[in-house]
Amino acid sequence: MKALQLVPRPRVDPEEFAGQQTRRFTDHRLRIGRSGVVHEVAWRSWLGDLVLPVPACHQGWSGFAAADDLTATDDPATCRKCAHGTGLRRGEVQPALFELDQD
């Protein structure tokens, strides 16, 4: 019995995809989704000897960059955990997730 596919999905060649991600994130940092927080990049095993970029601080997210949920950037790291080892200067902190009314 063949499974019914409600939403057509493009096939992804793992080697080509991993190569694209490697070229995209090498010597860059990353953002997750629409967040303004910038993370350092670490590389994690994916399939066999293929690797994919992930936040160095192990911040979780849903996806594996196939839907462009990770964005490469040259901006400095603002994630406190990621930037800790990069010499984040005092006053350069991770922005708040949301503002609280202080009234």
Q: H or E stretch including 18? A: helix 14-25
Average of per-residue pLDDT across 10-15: 84
Please tell me the distance from the alpha carbon of residue 74 to that of residue 26, in angstroms, as a whole number: 11
pLDDT tens digit sequence for 20-74: 999 999 999 999 988 889 999 999 998 899 999 999 998 887 765 566 789 999 9
Q: Assign 72 to helix, strand or coil.
A: strand
- The pTM (predicted TM-score) of the whole model is 0.69
At residue 100's C-alpha, the angle toward residues 98 and 103, to 5°, is 160
Give residue 61's pLDDT: 79
pLDDT tens digit sequence for 85-103: 655 554 455 566 667 777 6
